[in-house]
Structure 1
Amino acid sequence: MRHSKKLGHMQHLVKEDCVHRDVYLDEALFAQEQQELFANAWTYLGHDSQIPATGDFFTLDVAGQPFVALRDQEGQVRVFHNRCPHRGAKLFAAESGRLDGRFIRCAYHSWSFRLNGAPISMPLKEGYEGTNMACSPAGEGMKPIGALQVYRGFIFGRVNPQGMDFRDYFGDVLSSIDLMVDRSPKGELQIEGGVLRNTIACNWKLYLENINDSVHPVSTHESAVRAAQSVADDWNLGTNVPMAFEQILPFGQRYDFFKEMGGQVFPHGHSISGTKFSIHSGYGVMPEYVSALQAAHGEARTKEILERSPQNTVLYPSLALKGSPQTIRVIRPVAVNRTVIESWNFRTVDGPELLLDRALTYSRLVYSPMSVVAHDDVHLFEMQQQGLRSNANEWISLHREYEASETAEPTRMCSGTSELLLRNFHRAWVTFMTSESQEA
């Protein structure tokens, strides 16, 4: 059976407590990921505040294929393959923008379409009379993405039409989006401040692993913390701590802190680092803001919103959330050894301006490719990608806090430093990479 052979191969690459280097280096596996994982998983596409008005659009690639997201005349979010059904030209070349009219027109042969993808007209229409064009894919108009879901403003898509239901796929981890959105008294977020894009010469899984790796800050970011602490000492800040120091100094916590902050894994590769507390838990709160949240959500929910500040939530395979500050990172695999990371910031609608300031400052300090924090990480990701070519050891160790019983519990609590948070990603990877129907 072809399926059985593929399953055996993938299980050889991903064992219970270690991963073979080929999952980061093999170009054929990367191509298979695009078809099996990124085309069948629910991936993050964007936020509806990026397309607030009719005709607004943005473009992106998913599973190696070009797509366009736009808002139609009825105010609905639509996502289509960015391809003219006639001869295959991309219909949208720009990264984002707004259409001049209320229709889409291909620059090649002037075929035109409504904003809901339906065909309107084409030159020399009489030339198609008596042909099979009307009942062919070309005559059906723009092809929509296989499945689409807008959840509290977050746009998710599945390239293939058949697959797992949205809520079944994400399950309880959607509460992290709820927590983020409910920081707004109005229950609404808006993308603001543009996007930071960082192209890294590493496999996307190395970056994903690092998001919920809470051991590395102690050593990787030691020099950045020392530099910040030295300046803070010279300034004799006392209790008047500028935002930049408030955000960067907690990276200097010790191993016990990161271990005790807790973690949790969920089915399908999702995970949370910092279930009890995190380096973001010490941000100050504002009495007027608390009152506004209580009026909107009630005292119990407000308490939960303000007390829960996870280090990172991963919605596998493409999105990482930080509820405080209000930022997200999006993983866009480009090649087996090249990944684009996008950092986006949110305005918390009807919330204090300080929350947006925190998001923008944190992104500059931590996610900008020239920041003192991201520079450390990017250097090590690229050194990993290069070092894995060594034949000294073909395996990546993920042994920390491994328990044989963990595979029987798809939802499980763990310490903040457990590599279960990473093992969980790879187990989901095997599931997607072997999900093909059995064939003789």
Structure 2
Amino acid sequence: MSYSNESIAGLVRPDSVHKSVYTDPEIFQLEMDRIYGHAWIYAGHESQVPKVGDYHTTRIGDQDVIMVRGVDNKVHVLYNRCPHKGAMLVARGDGNAGKFFRCPYHAWTFKLDGSHLAAPIRRGFEGTRFDPASPEFSMRALARVENYRGFVFASQAAEGPSLSDFLGGVRSSIDNLCDRSPEGEVEVAGGVFKVMQPSNWKVFYENLHDTMHANVTHESSYTSAREQAEAYGSMPLELHIMDGNGEPYDFWEKLSLMAFDYGHGYMEGIFNPGAIETDPVTRSHFESLEAAYGRERALAILGENRHNTIIYGSGSPHTVFQQFRVIRPISVDRTMVEIQTFRLKGAPEAIFKRGLMYANLINSPSSNVMPDDIELYGRCQQGNQTRGGDWVSQHRYAGTDKPIEGGMTSINGTSELPMRNQFQAWKQYMLGEI
């Protein structure tokens, strides 16, 4: 079917959404244009392209793009396409282009900002419309590119809110992640996990702040963690971070959920990696921050404990364990998740190793936790393709959300406010209202 604005609006109710938003390929293609074609989307971190000519390939929605460090030392984001025959300029992955891009098909070359440099045997173009100064014969850059504290975002739309305004209330999560470095900077390090999930991209965003699922979906992992802790006679951090999912409902009900414009939000942390007074790793981290910022500021930085932050359309930074789960839609029922781990520049090496440990135990393809989620995401995708019903419930604490500057907050940590907020933004994007 062809969707009118009226029919799109009818897919989202105040307390539920129609299952077709997860299963209809036509809706998926509209999302690629109306959401990913307009919003600011995380392209990568500047540390992934440290030297002139370094490039990192990624996707903005359904578009293959290249993030590259130019001779001006700025980071550019270009569509991965040669304007001659349309070939991808570079294969997917990372590398260094040298001083220019060279198409492997016919050797057209382009400066690192995408502008046309040369084409072989120029006399063959005499008397034609070919003009190397015309944008038609250059690699096309995305309409807007901005860098916030090293995090590079790009938008395919020439107009719209600034990146700072777009991020709004979740800027503070990026700030806290960077401020945990005594130098105020982070860098991608330790490799990147990639996990293909058999589900629609929106399912993962909803689950990130779904506090009702943890002690049900992850029962096997937290039960095993508790059994091992009993055998050890203690609960080391490696087990503690799995045990946290098994907290009773009254624990989750007390958590704060924040929801902001454009579908963003964050939730309060569910555990602390260690107290300054008793944990030597945290203590050494605190001392490095205290030397850089002073005691009061260092305490404030480590005292800001958030679990998952949602930057809608891009993914989820986790400040305490310095990582970013980047969410890339592939098709209506396939989603690629890339887990980037960051080193806090100037912080003790033990902090970086702790971040790697968390990524391995919680988010890697071989973890004891992520497979639980992926199994359920797939079941949601499959179940929503049956004739067993048409609507997906978002009723928990509907109508009780409290307004805050730039968004809403929940009265209960098990509220489905984050899901409702995401679909309010989804609806606005799909109707062309933002």
Give a deviation string over 1:153-200, Cα, whole Å, max 9, x none: 111110122222212211121011000000000011111111111111
In structure 2, C-alpha distance between the alignment counterparts of 1:286 and 1:169, rounded to whole Å: 33
Q: Which moved more, 1:203-212 or 1:70-79?
A: 70-79
Change (3 A) 1:13 1:375: same
Give a deviation string over 1:328-361, Cα, whole Å, max 9, x none: 1011000001101111101111111121112111
Give SS of 1:40's match. coil
Tell me which residue corresponds to 1:150. Answer: 147
Calculate the TM-score normalised by the size of structure 2: 0.94
Tell me which residue corresponds to 1:236. Answer: 233
Letter in 2 for 1:69: M
Deviation at 1:117, TM superposition (A): 1.8
Tell me which residue corresponds to 2:172. Answer: 175
1:5-404 equivalences under 5 Å are 6-99=4-97, 101-134=98-131, 136-139=134-137, 141-237=138-234, 241-274=235-268, 277-280=269-272, 282=274, 284=279, 286-403=282-399
Give a deviation string over 1:295-349, Cα, whole Å, max 9, x none: 3233333222111111111011222011111111011000001101111101111
In structure 2, C-alpha distance between the alignment counterparts of 1:331 and 1:405, rounded to whole Å: 27
Give SS of 2:350's match. helix
Give SS of 1:258's match. helix
In structure 2, C-alpha distance between the alignment counterparts of 1:29 and 1:116, rounded to whole Å: 33
Calculate the TM-score normalised by the size of structure 1: 0.92
Change (3 A) 1:379 1:166: same
In structure 2, C-alpha distance between the alignment counterparts of 1:33 and 1:399, rounded to whole Å: 24
Deviation at 1:13, TM superposition (A): 0.5
Tell me which residue corresponds to 1:431. Answer: 428
Deviation at 1:250, TM superposition (A): 1.6
Change (3 A) 1:34 1:94: closer
Contact 2:55–2:68 (CA under 8 A) maintained in structure 1: yes
Deviation at 1:364, TM superposition (A): 1.0
Aligned-pair identity (%) = 36
Give a deviation string over 1:254-302, Cα, whole Å, max 9, x none: 111122121111111011111xx42246564633432321232333332
Give SS of 2:359's match. helix
In structure 1, C-alpha distance between the alignment counterparts of 2:92 and 2:204, rounded to whole Å: 27
**Alpha carbon RMSD of aligned pairs, Å?**
2.0
Give SS of 1:145's match. coil
Letter in 1 for 2:259: V
Give SS of 1:311's match. strand
Letter in 1 for 2:313: P
In structure 2, C-alpha distance between the alignment counterparts of 1:163 and 1:126, rounded to whole Å: 43
In structure 2, C-alpha distance between the alignment counterparts of 1:22 and 1:257, rounded to whole Å: 34
Deviation at 1:137, TM superposition (A): 3.7
Change (3 A) 1:258 1:282: farther
In structure 1, C-alpha distance between the alignment counterparts of 2:405 and 2:291, rounded to whole Å: 39
Give a deviation string over 1:218-255, Cα, whole Å, max 9, x none: 11111111111111111112xxx433113222222111
Give SS of 1:286's match. helix
Letter in 2 for 1:358: R
Deviation at 1:150, TM superposition (A): 0.9
Deviation at 1:63, TM superposition (A): 2.2
In structure 2, C-alpha distance between the alignment counterparts of 1:44 and 1:190, rounded to whole Å: 15
Give SS of 2:13's match. coil
Deviation at 1:436, TM superposition (A): 7.0
Deviation at 1:410, TM superposition (A): 5.0
Letter in 2 for 1:245: L
Contact 2:168–2:406 (CA under 8 A) maintained in structure 1: no
Contact 2:194–2:336 (CA under 8 A) maintained in structure 1: yes
Change (3 A) 1:252 1:282: farther
Unaligned runs of 5+ in 1: none
Letter in 1 for 2:385: R
Letter in 2 for 1:271: G
In structure 1, C-alpha distance between the alignment counterparts of 2:297 and 2:37, rounded to whole Å: 36
Give a deviation string over 1:18-48, Cα, whole Å, max 9, x none: 0110000111000000000011011111111
Contact 1:200–1:338 (CA under 8 A) maintained in structure 2: yes
Deviation at 1:74, TM superposition (A): 2.5
Contact 1:326–1:355 (CA under 8 A) maintained in structure 2: no
Deviation at 1:76, TM superposition (A): 1.2
In structure 2, C-alpha distance between the alignment counterparts of 1:43 and 1:416, rounded to whole Å: 28
In structure 2, C-alpha distance between the alignment counterparts of 1:292 and 1:391, rounded to whole Å: 58
Letter in 2 for 1:164: P
In structure 2, C-alpha distance between the alignment counterparts of 1:364 and 1:288, rounded to whole Å: 23
In structure 2, C-alpha distance between the alignment counterparts of 1:304 and 1:327, rounded to whole Å: 20
Give SS of 2:337's match. strand
Q: Which moved more, 1:33-42 or 1:351-360?
A: 351-360
Q: Give the number of equivalent residue pairs.
A: 427
In structure 2, C-alpha distance between the alignment counterparts of 1:300 and 1:182, rounded to whole Å: 13
Contact 1:281–1:307 (CA under 8 A) maintained in structure 2: no
Deviation at 1:404, TM superposition (A): 6.4
Contact 2:190–2:356 (CA under 8 A) maintained in structure 1: yes
Contact 1:86–1:138 (CA under 8 A) maintained in structure 2: no
In structure 2, C-alpha distance between the alignment counterparts of 1:406 and 1:34, rounded to whole Å: 31
